[in-house]
Structure 1
Amino acid sequence: MGMGRHIMVFTTPTLRELNEQTQQDIINAGIPGIDTALQNSVIGTIGTVQAGLGWQHFAYLDYIARQAVPWTATEEYLAGWGVLKNVYQKAPTKATATVQFTTIDQKVIVPKGSIIKRPDGWSYVTLADSIDNKAQIESVDVGLNGNASQGISLSLGNPLAGVNTKVTALTPITGGSDLEDEEAYRTRVIEAYRISGSVGREQEYILWAKSVPQVSRAWVGRNGFGIGTVVVWIMCDEANLATHGFPVGDDGSATPEYRYNPATGDQLEVANYIWQKEPVTALVIICSPIAMPIDFVISDLGINNTLANQETIIAALKDMFQREAAPGVSLHSSAWERAVGSITAINQYNIVSPTETIIPSSPGHLPILGTVIFQS
């Protein structure tokens, strides 16, 4: 019979274990007159110091071992693994929007560099002189905090002659993102290693799209606009909260692509990024999914029908749609049953509707959470 292979996992000893081992080694050394290493003795103290030094060596070796593979590497070592596959940590970005000013005369121009303020003090700056009382603004600082809804109250940071201090946001202020979380970056790095070896597979289009800072989810449709076309649907869940995560822009292709209409906004940024990596024959079209709101009716919560539990249920359903929904893909009732059933604070409930599998009406429709009604 062949001998089985035994794999032993090395366990790093704790500082306490090393100290106890050192003290015991001192006792076992056979030094005349030393039967017990007293806690406050010189030789006992030296042993404690040696244990501490040994523990630091073990800790450093453990740190080195973790950097040896991408699934445990951290910081610059993880970045190094990512660079080998051209996967970089997403840099923080600034939020943008279009605003409108009210002036006493159409000839009055709000100059480039004018500061726009939110009530909480967050600042934006105009990127060019206003045209027809409209201008593009950009957040002064990077990060998610720069995003805001279309109805947010804005005002001029400094008075301008002939210009009303109130500023109107014509579009949601979107596109701001924080530095990519290390675990999210790690996931993309590992994905790159898993799919390496070819160019043009679905997973690669998804990885390319998700390399753009504001993109959080992406899906691929084959031949969606005819033979040789690749449709990439994108979502920007955190950067575009004001639009429920949907990209802000027009569907289309990259700027150099002459075979299709050019995209704008978020879609254009993704299209131009993928253009540098895609196979030369592919016609890649970046699209926003079409929202397909799904309403819920939930009853029989009993004493658990509290505002806090309702908010928990809504959050669980939103998370479920983000994790499991995809454009054109059916979603089974077991998905939302699991989502609500996993809430430990709720021991009874009844999902009155929906009860049947959600079937999108077209390949581009994405099921999202609609209205949630709670019945007694």
Structure 2
Amino acid sequence: MIQKDQQQIVEEMLQSFAEELGVSQISSASDIAIKCKVFAAQIEGIFYNQDYILKQAFPQTATEDKYLEMHGELAKKTDRKLSTPAVGGVFMGRKTPFLEDILIKIGTIISTDEESYRERITAVTTENRILKAGDLEVEVPIKTEMNGKKYNLEAGSLTVLVTPPTGIEYVRQDTFLKDGTDLEDFEVYRQRILKVKRNPERGGAPSDYEVWATSVDGVTFAKSFPVARGGGTIDILITTDSGVPSDKLVQKVQAYINEKRPTGADPLVIKPKLFMIDLDVQVIPKVGETLESIRSDIILSIKEYIQSVSIGGTIYKNAIINAIFETKKVVNAKIISFVEEEMVLKTTEVAKAGDINVHL
């Protein structure tokens, strides 16, 4: 597209005036020159506006949320995926049996300990549960009150009963929360729109199932495996920002794909297998740092790297060490437990950090 700045427009206008008046040049102090500068500033704005409009006209170059979402609407209603809460389960109970049933109502609030966790994150129960008389504890489904992948809390994070039901003395979280996702990244959304446009539905091709699965809020990746269980079958593996999706999300994706599948097809939505990585890390802190002051930052950096490895990807020993040095708090680091230089995951495996022991 032709783009002209104010100075270029002024020069062209003055040249045209000079030609029309039959003079060699127009004085920069003349009324004509002053008016040309004023008009040129407005014309320059028109050029920029045309450039802006041209960018918004195509999904490859759109820069505004609303215009990219319009392109998504035209691409078989490819809506931008919204953020989702993290879900999971906790155990609520008491130290000694109670003589009567205890009702744990939907909406009961629990949270992290702000002092030890450094942030107060709340979650609520999503179903009524009853602790039977004589029992010590019962599992209760929950979801976080806020949406986002940061709320996929590790086991042991939720420890506080904010609105404790009468008779309940403690809450315990044995497993990490799942399915929490952020609002779909702008560039990720753009690529998903382009994929839909470039790969129109073909009556239930493997790529169709991947597009259908990744259109569901909470799903970040999908891979199809044709003829997985024999002729006419296809398995669709899905993952989330937390790695392994919840059963509820799997059921949601399965229901959506069942609506889209061609007659006679037998699709099955499956979870990846969780590959836990335990690490023994030896470090030498920088001067002024202590093991206690750097341990949590090192563990967080390692977890972020492991979480970034895609399903079926490769985990590199050097990358783990680099993640440690990125904290800028150590002068040396060594992975004791990671013997191989790299670890290749299977096509159905997703990595998750397990126990990380950081010591001197």
Who is 1:96 aligned against?
Answer: 87
Cα distance change on mapping 1:125 and 1:105 into 2, 3 Å: farther
> What is the CA–CA distance in structure 2 between the aligned matches of 1:22 and 1:371, rounded to whole Å?
72
Cα drift, residue 290 of structure 1 = 2.4
The aligned residue for residue 283 of structure 1 is 266
The superposition leaves residues 254-278 of structure 1 with CA deviations (integer Å, 9 ceiling, x where unpaired) of xxxxxxxxxxx23212211211211
Question: Displacement of 1:157 after TM fit?
Answer: 2.0
Cα distance per residue 1:43-83 (max 9 Å; x no partner): 54433321221122112211221222221224222222222
Q: Distance in 2 between matches of 1:161 and 1:212?
A: 38
Aligned twin of 2:70: 80
Instruction: Give the secondary structure class of the aligned counterpart of 1:63.
Output: helix
**Letter of the 2:102 counterpart:** V
Q: 1:126 to 1:59 in 2, by over 3 A?
A: same
Q: Are the equivalent residues in 2 in contact too, given 1:99–1:169 (CA < 8 A)? A: yes
* Higher-strand-fraction structure: 2
Give me the TM-score of the superposition, normalised by structure 2. 0.71
Task: State the secondary structure of the residue aligned to 2:39.
Answer: helix
- TM-score, with length taken from structure 1: 0.69
Quickly say closer, same or farther: Cα 1:170–1:29, change in 2 above 3 A: farther
CA distance in 2, matches of 1:42, 1:61: 29
Write the distance in 1 (CA, Å) between the matches of 2:92 and 2:317: 49
Alpha-carbon spacing, 1:159–1:357, altered in 2? closer, same or farther (3 Å)? closer
Higher RCO (CA-CA < 8 Å; seq separation 6+): 2
Matched, 1:50 2:39: yes
Whether the 8 Å CA contact 1:23–1:37 is kept in 2: the answer is no
Residue deviations 1:12-36, cap 9 Å, x none? Answer: 2234544554566566664989842
SS in 1 for 2:184: coil
Contact 2:306 2:351 (C-alpha < 8 Å) held by counterparts: no
Q: Which residue in the other structure is 2:335 paired with?
A: none
Q: Please tell me whether residue 117 in structure 1 is matched to residue 121 in structure 2.
A: no
RMSD of equivalent CA atoms: 4.4
Q: Partner of 1:286: helix, strand, or coil?
A: strand
The change in CA–CA distance for 1:364 and 1:45 in structure 2 (over 3 A counts) is same
What is the aligned partner in structure 1 of residue 245 from structure 2?
A: 247
Q: Show the 5 A alignment for 1:182-331.
A: 182-237=186-241, 240=242, 245-249=243-247, 265-291=248-274, 318=306, 321-322=309-310, 326=312
Cα separation, 1, equivalents of 2:157 and 2:304: 28
More deviation, 364-373/66-75: 364-373
Does the CA-based 8 Å contact 1:26-1:37 persist in structure 2? no
Check the 8 A contact 2:18/2:24 in 1, yes or no. no
Which letter does structure 2 place at the counterpart of 1:36? S
SS of 1:116's partner is strand
Counterparts of 1:191 and 1:247 in 2: how far apart (Å)?
23
Q: In 1, distance between residues paired with 2:101 and 2:37?
A: 80
- Which residue does 1:256 correspond to in 2? none
1:199-252 deviation digits (Å, cap 9, x = unpaired): 211111111111122221211111111111101111113xx1xxxx12233xxx
Match of 1:37 in 2: 28
Contact 2:110 2:124 in 1 (8 A): yes
- Gap change, CA 1:337 and 1:187, over 3 Å in 2: farther
- In the alignment, is the contact (CA less than 8 A) between 2:105 and 2:128 conserved in 1? yes
Change (3 A) 1:114 1:289: closer
Query: In the aligned structure 1, how far is the partner of 2:256 from the partner of 2:87?
Result: 19
List per-residue Cα deviations over 1:347-369 (Å, max 9, x = no partner).
xxxxx975799584xx6456789
Match of 1:157 among 154, 158, 162: 162
Asked if structure 1 preserves the Cα contact closer than 8 Å seen for 2:303 and 2:353, the reply is no
CA distances 1:266-295 after superposition (whole Å, capped 9, x unpaired): 321221121121112111111122245789
Residue 4 of structure 2 corresponds to: 13
Question: Alpha carbons of 1:76 and 1:130: their partners in 2 closer, same or farther (altered >3 Å)?
Answer: same
Deviation at 1:190, TM superposition (A): 0.4
CA shift in 2, pair 1:170/1:338, >3 Å: closer
1: CA distance, partners of 2:23 / 2:35: 17
Q: 1:155 to 1:338 in 2, by over 3 A?
A: closer
What is the identity, as a one-letter code, of the residue corresponding to 1:63? Answer: Y
Give the Cα–Cα distance (whole angstroms) in 1 for the partners of residues 317 and 85 of structure 2.
38
